[in-house]
Amino acid sequence: MKKENIHEELEQLSPLLFELKKQGEVMYTPPDYFEALEEKVYEKLEAEGGRITPPVSPWTVWFSPLRLSVAAALTAVVVSVWGFLQPAQVAQAPVAAATPFTLEEEAPVTLTSDVAATYIKENILEFDEDALLAAYLEEDEDFDIQPAPAKKNAKKTTTSTDDLEEILDDLTDEELEDLL
């Protein structure tokens, strides 16, 4: 909602009042009136029964907006910390269920390759890719993971010497002359 300017409003409503307002303030206060006011108020208070500090309602002290805000902020912090701790405890449970070992048990010092391979296969996403690759290249005898066999229809990209000799043996004299 556009805030209507008083001057624009007066100009439309009353040219007379618009002109009078342009003359500015015509009421004044005595010099230093406000500086002396505090003392006059205290004199009046003394005259009317003294400057007794008014009783403050304990309700307004303990349940003041500031105290309530601080209490709400502290509560939010405590709840956030508690909530932060909760997911870490829950996340451990699925991993423990999937593996053949419990969290309390120590993993065996030696593993058979079959058990290790099964474990890796079932939890492949838990492992670091680089660590897996490093383990494969190290040729650890406990982890005898064979590379995947070559696919049947895989295209050969290089030709050996033996292959060449076989091809040449199959060619006729005429085909050889064409090649040369």
Partner 1 sequence: MTAQRTAIISDEEILALLRGGERTFERGFRALLGKYQERIYWQIRRLVTFHEDADDVLQNTLVKVYRGIGQFEGKSALFTWLYRIATNEAITFLQQKARRASVSMDDEDNTIVSRLQADEWFDGDDIQARLQKHIAQLPEKQRIVFNLRYFEEMPYEEMSVLLDTSVGALKASFHHAVKKIETAFAQ
Rule CB under 8 A: which residues touch partner 1? 1, 3-4, 6, 9-10, 13-14, 16-17, 20-21, 23, 26-30, 33-34, 37-38, 40-41, 44-45, 48, 51, 53-57, 60-61, 64-66
Buried b (16+ CB within 10 A) or exposed e, 26-61: eeeeeeeeeeeeeeeeeeeeeeeeeeeeeeeeeeee
CA 124 vs. chain centroid, Å, equals 26
In the complex with partner 1, which residue's Cβ is closer, 63 or 136?
Answer: 63
Give the C-alpha separation, 81 to 98, whole Å. 29
Q: Under 8 Å CB-to-CB from 45, ≥6 apart: which residues? A: 51
Give the C-alpha separation, 64 to 143, whole Å. 68
Q: 42: closest CA among 33, 32, 51? A: 51
Please check whether residue 7 is in contact with residue 16, taking contact to mean a CB–CB distance below 8 angstroms.
no
In the complex with partner 1, which residue's Cβ is closer, 68 or 176?
Answer: 68
Give the shortest CB-77-to-partner 1 separation in angstroms: 21
Give the shortest CB-71-to-partner 1 separation in angstroms: 15
In the complex with partner 1, which residue's Cβ is closer, 29 or 89?
Answer: 29
Q: Which two tokens stand for residue 115?
A: 């058990």
CA 32 vs. chain centroid, Å, equals 59
At 74, which amino acid appears?
Answer: L
Radius of gyration of the chain (CA): 46
Give the shortest CB-93-to-partner 1 separation in angstroms: 48
In the complex with partner 1, which residue's Cβ is closer, 57 or 161?
Answer: 57
Give the shortest CB-33-to-partner 1 separation in angstroms: 8
In the complex with partner 1, which residue's Cβ is closer, 48 or 162?
Answer: 48
Give the shortest CB-73-to-partner 1 separation in angstroms: 15
In the complex with partner 1, which residue's Cβ is closer, 14 or 92?
Answer: 14
Give the shortest CB-46-to-partner 1 separation in angstroms: 11
